Structure 1
């Protein structure tokens, strides 16, 4: 199955079934759905986790997150540059992380290195049944 590259890392993975294999993108990213479960103590909410592998120089296209999607991102390996909303572009190293409030514009998400790969874990709380966790940024 081909994923439209305009969706972006997190949205692309959530747009496919969690049973599907990793999705490779034209921008040097591979998104692997890792976990998805309805939250029994918070009706109507789901917890999802995705692994985003960035090839050297790889990136996600700019995208907006759904108004229901609260995201925590954790750098597993390498270094990742990220810019959310009107905040500065920041570089996060392995062991560091950040959060994205619901409805955020994720304008930059890329591997900071042109020679080493990077890996990100994205943990998302969102409305159950949400079809578009991300949409292309206008």
Structure 2
């Protein structure tokens, strides 16, 4: 696991993968944990991003790379999420949600003010795309 995390830090530094803006209200830690070209799908890659929220943590509203299809699985705690104009839902450890290319992630937050939460977001994305997340002004 240490080898994977060490590689993730190097990949994040080399790939230019963007993290969400970080300020007092946005207490998410973003770590790229894998980045692999898909050998039988030329031009596409699979990227895994670990998102860790402290108690009460959240991310600003954002979009993802235009080509990105994402499936996110909650690993710890509970995450509040809203995609596009859908309802705000709470996903608990073991549950997942998806985002299609062009979707807007309006709410992404830890559902608890006292416990941490983590999710793994797996992107299928054009290999050339380096900016995975862009805050919505």
State the TM-score bracket (shorter-chain normalisation). 0.7 to 0.9
Name stretches of at least 5 consecutive residues in structure 2 with no aligned partner: 1-10
The Cα shift of 1:133 comes to 2.3
Residue 130 and residue 15 in structure 1: after superposition, are their counterparts in 2 closer, same or farther (change >3 A)? Answer: farther
> In structure 2, what is the equivalent of residue 85 of structure 1?
84
What TM-score do you get using the length of structure 2 for normalisation?
Answer: 0.82
> In structure 2, what is the equivalent of residue 63 of structure 1?
62
Identify the structure with the greater helix proportion. 2
The Cα shift of 1:119 comes to 0.5
Instruction: Output one character per residue of 1:31-58: Cα deviation in whole Å (capped at 9) or x when no partner.
Output: 1110000110000001000111100000
Structure 1 residue ranges (4+ consecutive) displaced by more than 2 angstroms after TM superposition: 14-20, 22-26, 131-134
The Cα shift of 1:19 comes to 9.9
> In structure 1, what is the equivalent of residue 116 of structure 2?
117
The Cα shift of 1:134 comes to 2.3
Q: Secondary structure of 2:134's partner?
A: strand
Give matches, 1:1-138, under 5 Å: 16-17=13-14, 25-26=22-23, 27-138=26-137
Name stretches of at least 5 consecutive residues in structure 1 with no aligned partner: 1-13
What TM-score do you get using the length of structure 1 for normalisation?
Answer: 0.81
CA contact (8 A) 2:21 2:135 kept: no
